[in-house]
């Protein structure tokens, strides 16, 4: 897939994710555990027909050694977008840097950091880009 097509796919996925997050947040509101939002979001996004993986182990190479269980991505959609789900009082720069590192290690360009513990979901969604 070319870079332009990949970017279109990433943006299409991001739009769908934002719409689904809006519906979930509208119906359930803030205050639930991250695992609840992740389960519901994953189930809802599966209906769109994308290939999806949940709690996927991403290996890390360090000093010519491969560490298989370095971190788990909450949700990866179509090998194109990582979703990092939170239900915290406030998103910090550390959360954003964490997602950027995940993107780098996974070789992906776009991630969405989604914090459901907000009054308005639009204030809880952050695009994180890895320029590769």
With beta carbons less than 8 A apart as the criterion, state whether 66 and 114 touch: no
Under the banding of pLDDT at 50, 70 and 90, the label for residue 70 is confident
**pLDDT mean over 67-92:** 94
Average pLDDT over residues 21-25: 98
Q: pLDDT grade, residue 3 (50/70/90)? A: low
Angle between helix axes 34-46 and 3-28 (nearest 10 degrees) is 120
Q: What is the DSSP string of 36-102?
A: HHHHHHHHHHHTTT--EEEEEEEEEEETTEEEEEEEEEEEEETTTEEEEEE--S---HHHHHHHHHH
User: How far apart (Å, rounded) are the C-alpha atoms in residues 101 and 120?
Assistant: 27
Residue matched to tokens 């991403």: 58
- Owning domain of residue 33: 3-129
Span 87-116, average pLDDT: 95
Split into its structural domains, the chain has a count of 1
Q: Are 34 and 86 in contact (CB under 8 A)?
A: yes
Cβ–Cβ contacts within 10 Å for residue 63, how many?
4
Share of the chain above pLDDT 90, in %: 86
- pTM recorded for the entire structure: 0.91
What is the pLDDT, as a whole number, of residue 4?
Answer: 66
């Amino acid at each position: 897939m070319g870079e332009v097509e990949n970017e279109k796919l990433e943006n299409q996925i991001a739009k769908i994710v934002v719409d689904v997050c809006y519906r979930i947040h509208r119906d359930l509101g803030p205050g639930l555990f991250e695992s609840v939002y992740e389960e519901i979001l994953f189930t809802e996004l599966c209906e769109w027909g994308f290939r999806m993986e949940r709690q996927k182990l991403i290996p890390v190479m360090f000093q010519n050694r491969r560490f298989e269980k370095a971190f788990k991505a909450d949700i990866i959609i179509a090998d194109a977008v990582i979703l990092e789900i939170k239900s915290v009082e406030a998103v910090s720069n550390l959360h954003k840097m964490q997602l950027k590192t995940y993107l780098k290690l996974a070789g992906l360009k776009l991630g969405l950091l989604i914090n459901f513990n907000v009054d308005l979901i639009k204030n809880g969604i952050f695009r994180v880009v890895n320029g590769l």
